[in-house]
Amino acid sequence: MDIQLTKNISFRESWSTKVINGEEIKRQVPPTEEYMPEVIISAEDGQKIRDKLNEVYGNNPKIGNRNKLNEIMLLIGSFWRLAAFQLYLYKTKQSTTTTGDHPEGKAIDLLTPRGLTPWQFYLFIRNKCNTRFNWFKRYSWGVHCSRR
């Protein structure tokens, strides 16, 4: 059974991908106890983003993927990562760093909600969500948010 880190973000969503024989298997390894305080902060800030998305865009059916309650969901691409997985991403040119903030639990990758561009999503997070994230990077798929 999975537990919730926040109202809408489950513990399982924070788990790292594992690589077996060159194949990425998503959300297989839970964060270790030492990283949980940072993982919880990232989840709390992710929840703030989700709540603000629903506050601002909840009445616009063109924005966001919705759950059965018609709430906009926050789609998490990546959260905490094993250091070995981070190194794998670097070696396969999927990351520009061998370390980064993911292995510390201080980063979360958020997929851009339907109806927004990555630029709009980035500005929304930075200007409207009052999170503890202080470093952002936009990608074609969404926004990397971290605390540095």
The stretch 95-100 carries a mean pLDDT of 85
The Cα 34–Cα 21 span in angstroms is: 28
The Cα 10–Cα 31 span in angstroms is: 13
Residue 143 has pLDDT above 80, yes or no: yes
Query: Under a CB-based contact definition with an 8 Å cutoff, are residues 54 and 72 in contact?
Result: yes
138: left (phi over 0), alpha (psi -120 to 50) or beta: beta
pLDDT tens track for 47-78: 999 999 999 999 999 999 999 999 999 999 99
Smallest Cα–Cα separation from 101: which of 71, 132, 73, 142? 132
pLDDT for position 1: 57
Higher pLDDT, 98 or 92: 92
Residue 46 has pLDDT above 70, yes or no: yes
The residue ranges of every structural domain in the chain are 11-146
Task: Please name the amino acid found at residue 57.
Answer: Y
Q: pTM (2 decimals)? A: 0.94
